[in-house]
């Protein structure tokens, strides 16, 4: 397996140049795009790695899966579904999905910014600090890594320049779709996107969703099995932005990408996958990362379809 991963990384190295690093968050524009790494954790708990698997990057939109999980843990399925719709938007991550001049909860999707910002307001806690700590602790638990922290430079950079997200959040507020103070909710969202991880963390988080709540080599279930069904189903239809249909055909697994260049792959009952390469395609997905996943899926018959 390790040999296979090494071959894939070598074969796909040619694609790292083809993507562009995200530049709308100034701090991300400084990232060296010449990085490609992968980690796979199999059902036996065995960990396989290749390339730049130890390099750190910010989780960005992959954290939407964890925000959704935290919202489900705190409120239950029915409540969350009522507040944030589950239908695919087929639109980019920062789209305003209004219909007939109206914005309703059913127009939101947990994997698109508006839905994710609204979900941040569903996390329960006495203060915004407590809510974020809860999310960070869940991330650490899923990644089996207590030392995960926020990248302060990226957080401040996002906070300084995140005017589109600010606009989306105020729009949500004006339609009564977020409770509480808008800036406080946004702060939780910006911090969440700036959590710093590596491929192994990502593979471990993916593994927890693949195993319906059990971390590698553990029998302790850290969340209810049905929440993995909820999250994985949404990842299948919307995890790769407006590239989700193409990805379903070519790779065929629940997955979530982020503009930091990470992709988390979930192969239900089989494995968790973490990939990182910061050059993005025109949809905001890691260019080389997708190429690696396409080949891995073909080689190992990973498609769930
Ligand atoms: N922090 C980013 C934003 O909200 C996340 C976007 C992404 O990874 O798709 O703009």
| Domain assignments of the chain as residue spans, ordered by start | 2-60+197-300, 63-193
Task: From residue 92, give the alpha-carbon distance in Å to each of 12, 113, 120, 202, 288.
Answer: 26, 9, 20, 23, 20
pLDDT for res 266: 98
Confidence of residue 184 (pLDDT cuts 50, 70, 90): very high
Q: Do domains 2-60+197-300 and 63-193 have the same CATH topology?
A: yes
Confidence of residue 96 (pLDDT cuts 50, 70, 90): confident
**Residues that are catalytic:** 61, 64, 189, 241, 259
Summary mean pLDDT of the chain: 96
For the whole model, what pTM was predicted?
A: 0.97
Is the minimum distance from the CB of 257 to ligand 1 under 6 angstroms?
Answer: no
pLDDT for res 90: 84
For the domain covering 2-60+197-300, report its CATH number.
Answer: 3.40.710.10
Q: What is the β-pairing status of strands 196-197 and 37-42? A: unpaired
Distance CA 264, CA 293 (A): 10
Task: From residue 178, give the alpha-carbon distance in Å to each of 102, 119, 122, 181, 301.
Answer: 15, 8, 8, 8, 42
Read off the pLDDT of residues 132-156 as tens digits, 9 standing for 90 and up. 999 999 999 999 999 999 999 999 9
Is the minimum distance from the CB of 165 to ligand 1 under 6 angstroms?
Answer: yes
How far apart are the CA of 279 and the centre of ligand 1, in A?
A: 15
pLDDT for res 291: 98
Q: Is the pLDDT of residue 89 over 90?
A: no
Confidence of residue 10 (pLDDT cuts 50, 70, 90): very high
Instruction: Return the higher-pLDDT residue of 178 and 91.
Output: 178
pLDDT for res 91: 85
Q: Is the pLDDT of residue 293 over 90?
A: yes
Confidence of residue 97 (pLDDT cuts 50, 70, 90): confident
Residue 84 corresponds to which tokens in the numbers above?
């944030």
Is the minimum distance from the CB of 278 to ligand 1 under 6 angstroms?
Answer: no
Superfamily for 63-193?
DD-peptidase/beta-lactamase superfamily (3.40.710.10)
**For the CA of 162, the nearest atom of ligand 1:** 10
pLDDT for res 150: 98
Read off the pLDDT of residues 245-290 as tens digits, 9 standing for 90 and up. 999 999 999 999 999 999 999 999 999 999 999 999 999 999 999 9
Segment 51-71 mean pLDDT: 98
**For the CA of 260, the nearest atom of ligand 1:** 8
Is the minimum distance from the CB of 115 to ligand 1 under 6 angstroms?
Answer: no
């Amino acid at each position: 397996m390790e040999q296979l991963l090494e071959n894939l990384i070598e074969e796909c190295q040619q694609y790292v140049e083809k993507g562009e690093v995200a530049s709308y968050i100034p701090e991300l524009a400084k990232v060296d795009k010449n990085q490609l790494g992968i980690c796979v954790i199999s059902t036996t708990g065995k960990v396989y790695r290749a390339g730049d698997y130890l390099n750190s990057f910010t989780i960005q939109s992959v954290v939407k899966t964890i925000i959704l999980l935290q919202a489900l843990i705190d409120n239950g399925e029915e409540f969350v579904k009522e507040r944030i719709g589950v239908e695919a938007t087929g639109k980019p991550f920062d789209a305003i999905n209004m219909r007939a001049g109206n914005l309703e909860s059913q127009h939101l999707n947990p994997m698109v910014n508006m839905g994710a910002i609204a979900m941040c307001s569903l996390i329960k806690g006495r203060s915004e600090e407590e809510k974020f700590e809860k999310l960070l602790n869940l991330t650490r638990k899923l990644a089996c890594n207590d030392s995960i922290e926020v990248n302060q430079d990226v957080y401040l950079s996002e906070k300084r320049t995140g005017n589109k997200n600010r606009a989306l959040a105020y729009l949500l507020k004006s339609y009564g779709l977020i409770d509480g103070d808008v800036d406080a909710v946004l702060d939780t969202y910006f911090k969440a996107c700036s959590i710093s991880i590596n491929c192994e963390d990502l593979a471990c988080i993916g593994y927890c969703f693949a195993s319906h709540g059990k971390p590698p080599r553990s029998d302790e279930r850290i969340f209810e099995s049905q929440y993995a069904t909820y999250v994985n189903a949404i990842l299948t239809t919307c995890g790769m932005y407006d590239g989700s249909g193409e990805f379903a055909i070519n790779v065929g697994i629940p997955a979530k990408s982020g503009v930091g260049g990470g992709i988390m792959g979930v192969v239900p009952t089989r494995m968790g996958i973490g990939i990182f390469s910061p050059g993005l395609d025109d949809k905001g997905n890691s260019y080389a990362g997708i190429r690696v996943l396409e080949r891995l899926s073909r080689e190992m018959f990973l498609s769930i379809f």
